[in-house]
Structure 1
Amino acid sequence: MINPIEGLGLFTQQTDGASGDNVISKALGAVANVAGTAVAGPGFGEIMGSMASDAVKSLKGGETASIAGIQGKANTREVVDAVMEAEQTLKTATAFRDKIVAAYLDVTKMQI
């Protein structure tokens, strides 16, 4: 924990009133506790894999809905919704791919 500068007397006058504890010391202690604990989450590769599988699932759903519509098993609204969702997914994946390619090209242009 970071100790307050005691010679200046700036931090000893700010208390929370009820218990008389130093407000700054409490805040710094909370920040130190938060900084000391790392949150373990999914990695970049896992997120990218999940995104790709969701995109494929959406595209397959659009194809399935189209076939069901042709066979008369699905109404027009369901087919249109599924196809539009698949189209949006494809546009997002294409834009994402373009950004990755542009970033790769920028990295390859850097001088070492």
Structure 2
Amino acid sequence: MIDGIQKVAGLSMTRDLGEVTSSSSAASAFGTGGSAASTGASFSEVLGNMAVDAANSLKSAEAISFDGITGKANTREVVDAVLQAQQSLQTAIAFRDKIVSAYLDITKMQI
């Protein structure tokens, strides 16, 4: 179900990034952690890392949901994982909408 989201990484220049650890956050993707700002990460790398992080969050939530169904995870863990995945998905959708809007604005400009 979530495997279709991995195709997003194929659209960028940041292929084969591997899995992002679950301890990373959107703040590290924006460079506030210092690592991305010091290495001069490009815009495509930041977006690629955010896409991979969102996909990993969704996969983690799906796995924890299945664990909750089988009784291996408690309700609190399932709810936390699903809410985190929902927030990641909403952020990715907001970025997509802003990028499409910017692209449409650029195409409307007169040369």
Name which structure has the greater RCO, CA cutoff 8 Å, separation 6+: 2
Letter in 1 for 2:63: T
Runs of 4+ more than 3 Å apart: none
Q: Note the aligned Cα RMSD (angstroms).
A: 1.0
Letter in 2 for 1:94: I
Structure showing greater Rg: 1
Letter in 2 for 1:62: A
Letter in 1 for 2:96: R
Superposed CA offset, 1:14-43 (max 9, x none): xxxxxxxxxxxxxxxxxxxxxxxxx64211
Structure 2 unmatched ranges of 5 or more = 1-37
**Distance in 2 of aligned mates of 1:43 and 1:99:** 18
Aligned residue in 2 for 1:65: 64
User: 1:11-26 counterparts in 2 under 5 A?
Assistant: none
User: 1:72-111 counterparts in 2 under 5 A?
Assistant: 72-111=71-110
**Distance in 1 of aligned mates of 2:100 and 2:80:** 30
- Shift in alpha-carbon separation, 1:73–1:45, aligned structure 2, 3 A: same
Query: Structure 1 residue 44: deviation in Å?
Result: 1.3
Q: What is the number of residues matched between the two proteins?
A: 74
TM-score calculated relative to the size of structure 2: 0.64
Identity %: 65
**Distance in 1 of aligned mates of 2:86 and 2:39:** 34
Superposed CA offset, 1:1-20 (max 9, x none): xxxxxxxxxxxxxxxxxxxx
**Distance in 2 of aligned mates of 1:57 and 1:49:** 12
Structure 1 unmatched ranges of 5 or more = 1-38
